[in-house]
Structures are given as structure tokens and as C-alpha cells.
Structure 1
Amino acid sequence: MTLFAASCRNVIAGYYCVQPGDTLDSIAYGFGRKPDDLARWNGLAPGATLLVARLLRVAPPDWSALQGTASGASKSATSHEPAPAHAGQFIWPVSGMVVHEFGADGSRGIEIAGRAGMPVKAVAAGRVVYAGNGIKSYGLMVIVKHDEGYVTAYGNNRKILVREGDAVTQGMTIAEMGSRSGGQPLLQFEMREGSHAVDPLAHLPAGSGPVAE
């Protein structure tokens, strides 16, 4: 057994064992967190290089207390909470052809071709936990956290229409599709269940989504 395997054998809830190639950004995305929060909870500088096999805290130090505080803040900020999202109740973020499938060349999501400026929709109700361009390979990206442990990410946008902390409803326009440097307009769409990347096509309705207006 390698030192890495031994060190990552018994990871308690609320922690994550760093694997080769991990960054604060990628781990934060996987757990629906903000990179700055992970850095603060672990006493790291933003963008710090991570040591393989190190245990990182991925939940707030006092999770139950902060969860109650966040719940109270959410209720005061909006008059209604997003409806829960369940497997099988997602919609397509855009209407278009899937040009890159999950798992192809190590892809953790799919790419859906469309037209520049096409509205990008939230696939289910949830709350925006990230909106920006801090993860360069995704360009302008929005990450939405849903109930039931699901997180969805929408990358390669030309414009973001929501802010971190916003509650979104299913079908709400959250961004506008952008174009790659080569000129092809497409959406990078990823979905996670807990900390694991899952194939969006296993959760989206068969066929393409409704035709965008």
C-alpha cells in the first residue's frame, strides 16, 4: 500500500484527502464551496499549492451553527426558498446538440453546441454558490447548488446574469452562451452528486431541451 493510499484511507466527514492534480478551485467546485472559504478554513493562501494526501476541511468549522445562520440569512433575503431538486426532475440548460460527451478525453461533463448569446437556464431550483472567471479553463462560469446534494456548473459563457447568493428557479436564465476561441458557441455543462462527477445525460430528459426562443 502506498503512503498516499494509507493516508487517504479513513477520511472523516467534512474533510477531503488531496489527490494528485487537485487545486483549491477544483476541490471547491466539487463540494459546492468557494475557493476563498476553503483557503480560510484550512489556513492557506488563495491559490496555494496543495500537498498530496493532505486532509482539507471542506465544511465550515462549526457546520451546524453556520448552517442555521445561513438558513436564517436566506429566509430574510428572500420571501421564498427554492423548491427541492430531485433526480429525474432536471431540464436542459440549453437546446442543442451534445458535441462532447461525459468521460471523453477525461471530460467531467458535456458540451452542448448552440448559438452565441443563447440563454442558459438553471436546470433546477437552487442557489448560486459561484459566479465568475476564477477557474480559467471554464471562462465565465456559474455554479448552482441544489437540494439532494446536486451541484451544476455552466461554463464558457459570454455574460453572467446572476450573482453569488442568488436563489434561482428552474428554467431561470442565469447566463448567455459564449464562443470558444475557435469560434464555436457552446456551453460546458457539468453535474455533481455529492463530491462525484456524474454524467448529465443520465439525469436530463431524453433528447434535447425545449427550443430556445
Structure 2
Amino acid sequence: MTRSIGHVAALAAAMLVVGCASRPTSAPVIDRGAAPASKSATQAGLAAGTHVVQRGETLYSIALEHGVDYRDLARWNGLGDGTHIRVGQALRLGPPGATQAAAPPPQGVEVGSAPRAAGGVESRPLDAGAIAAHGQGDGSTKTSPKALRLPYSKENLAMLSERRAPTTPAAAAPSAPSTPAQPTATAPPTSATPPGELSFTWPAKGKLLNGFSEPNNKGVDIAGKPGDPVVAAAPGRVMYTGTGIRGYGKLIVIKHEDGFNSVYAHNRAILVKEGQSVTRGQPIAELGASDSNQPKLHFEIRKSGKPVDPMKYLPPPS
């Protein structure tokens, strides 16, 4: 009797092991600890189109740094005819309709989902359809016994032989003959300065005192005598005249094509008005020493508001 009970217990244990082995794979663990990034992405997009006023800045200096007309800057921000701004004020750098697109959230983050604690995990069971689709055809999951014993008969032998017969692979479709690659036409090399691009000329005649060295010197300094002519380096429209930017003295800013602006500082006298069109080589000012320790012209070329080395755009000095 004791031996029979032992056999029954062993048989039950074996059946339990087989049942555990046939269970499907455990559900995957999905990390949901990362918080959504949509809010920060929107803030980054907004910051790209605004400027927060810092101490010492003026509407004119902000307009110069971003390559826009100070009158447009005032209009976009509802300042009317005034130019008064305050520290910490956020200024729009484009028309109200020009909004910056927010960056898309990284993959795996659900936009708008409730934030979870950092490092939290969520476990979800797979549904029956997903399990069947995962195990179908790859032979990795066994859902039937490894061997099936059938009584010998001609019918069973024929059935087993039919199951074990290898399937004939489908004949591969004939591949199209490869076509030799045609040589591609190579475009002729272009020059560093495309034809028709805006060209600049020297705005004053004199010795070069200081070269471009950002952030210390955002342009070049040209020596001269008080009253020497200062000319427009390229055709354009006068965007600003005045003394509203500290360190530049009597200043002229000319707007050109292709996003270029030119800057002429420390003048003794200004000969043009805002909104006036000028031609290359036209006198626009008299060289001076306003807000400077010596007579000189400080000259800058800016591309989209950013200073660039004028020597890359000016002809070799004569």
C-alpha cells in the first residue's frame, strides 16, 4: 500500500512539471518611468522665437543682435512708437503668426500620459491573440505532446507518412538581368562666392587697426582723420541711425540682401536718414571718435544678426 501511494505521488509530481513547462512565456515588463517631454519641447520651441531683455540692453541693440529692424520689433511686441523695454521682458522676434514648431517627443514616450514615479515599471499580460501570433510557425512554443502513440494500422501509417513528407519549396521567380550602372554626370565645381552674390567694398581708407576677434571685436577697426568720408560698403536701405547702442557712438546700420547687415560706428556726423536707399560707395557719414578714444571707423558685417569676419567679404586692401 505504501509503495502504491509513492507511485501516485511521483506521477502527480511529473504531471505538475510537464504542466509548468507547457505554460506560455511570462508577460514582458514595460518601463514607464520616463515623464512626457511634450511640455519641455513646447517651451524650447517658444524660447527659440523670443528674447528676454537683459540689463543694459536696448531695443536697438536687441534688433541689431537678431538682424531685424527695431521698428518691426516694436510693432511685433505692441510697443507702438515707444522703445522703452524693461529687464526680464520677453520680446517676440517675429510676427505674431510666425510660431516655432515644437520638437517631437522621443520614441517610447506617450504624449499627454500621466507622469509616473521615476524608475517605476508596469507589467501587463499578453492577450491570447498576441501569444498565438508569436508562437505560430516558429516551433519555439510546444502546445501538444512531443510524441503521440497510435495503434498500428495501414491508415495510421499512411497518415504519419503524409505528415512527415517534406513540403516542396516554391520555385524562385527568375530574377531580372542586372542592368549595368550608368555613369552619373558630375556637376562642375562651383566657386566659393557664387556669381551675383552681394559684394562689399571698403567703407573707409586707412590703416587696419584691429581685426575680427569675436567676442572681443565683432568687426574691424579702420584708422583715419576726423571728417574722412565713410561710404556704404554695399547697396541697401538704412535701417538705423543714432546713439542708442552703448559703445558704438554715432551709429549707422544698413540692411542688404541675403540677410546681410553692415554696421558703421564712432562717426562724427551722419549724412543719411532711416529708410533711405543707398548705393555702394555712397558717402553716408564722416569718420569720428564718438564713444571712442581715437578717430576710427568700427565696421561690422552681420549675417542674420550674427557677426562674421568682414575680411572674408572685402576685397584685398590696396
Q: Which residue of 1 aligns with 2:225?
A: 115
> Which segments of 5 or more consecutive residues in structure 2 lack a partner in the other structure?
1-39, 99-195
Residue by residue over 1:110-169, the C-alpha shift from the partner in whole angstroms, topping out at 9 and shown as x without a partner, is: 111111111101011000011112223211111100001100010100110100010000
> Partner of 1:136 in structure 2?
246
Q: Per chain length, whose mean CA-contact separation is higher, i.e. which structure has more relative contact order (CA < 8 Å, sep 6+)?
A: 1
- Which of 122, 126, 130 aligns to 2:236? It is 126
Alignment of 1:1-213 (within 5 A): 9-10=44-45, 15-18=49-52, 23-43=58-78, 46-51=83-88, 54=90, 56-61=91-96, 86-87=197-198, 89-103=199-213, 106-179=216-289, 184-208=294-318
**Aligned counterparts of 2:83 and 2:255: Cα–Cα separation in 1:** 22
**Unpaired runs of 5+ in structure 1?**
64-84, 209-213
Which has the greater radius of gyration?
2
Q: CA deviation at 1:19?
A: 7.7
Separation in 2, partners of 1:6, 1:103 = 34
Count of residues paired in the alignment: 179
Question: Offset at 1:57?
Answer: 2.1
- TM-score (norm: length of structure 2): 0.49
SS at match of 1:138: coil
Q: Distance in 1 between matches of 2:305 and 2:50?
A: 10
Superposed CA RMSD in Å reads: 3.0
Structure 1 residues 140 and 8: CA distance shift in structure 2, 3 A: farther
Q: Comparing 136-145 with 156-165, which one deviates more in the overlay?
A: 136-145
Native 8 Å contact 1:180 1:186 kept in 2? no
7 and 114 in structure 1: CA distance in 2 versus 1, 3 angstrom threshold:
farther
Contact 1:8 1:17 survives alignment (8 Å)? no
Distance 1:184 1:148, change over 3 A: same
Cα deviation code 1:62-88 (max 9, x no counterpart) = 68xxxxxxxxxxxxxxxxxxxxx834x
The whole-number CA distance in structure 1 between the counterparts of 2:291 and 2:242 is 18
Higher strand share: 1
The question of whether the paired residues in 2 share the 8 Å contact of 1:102 and 1:110 is answered with: yes
Moved more, 180-189 or 167-176: 180-189
Query: What TM-score, normalized to structure 1?
Result: 0.71
Give the % identical residues.
41
Shift in Å, 1:30: 2.7
Distance 2:292 2:255 in 1: 31
CA contact (8 A) 1:32 1:129 kept: no
Shift of residue 20 of structure 1? 5.6
> Secondary structure of 1:106's partner?
coil
Which residue type is aligned with residue 283 of structure 2?
Answer: T
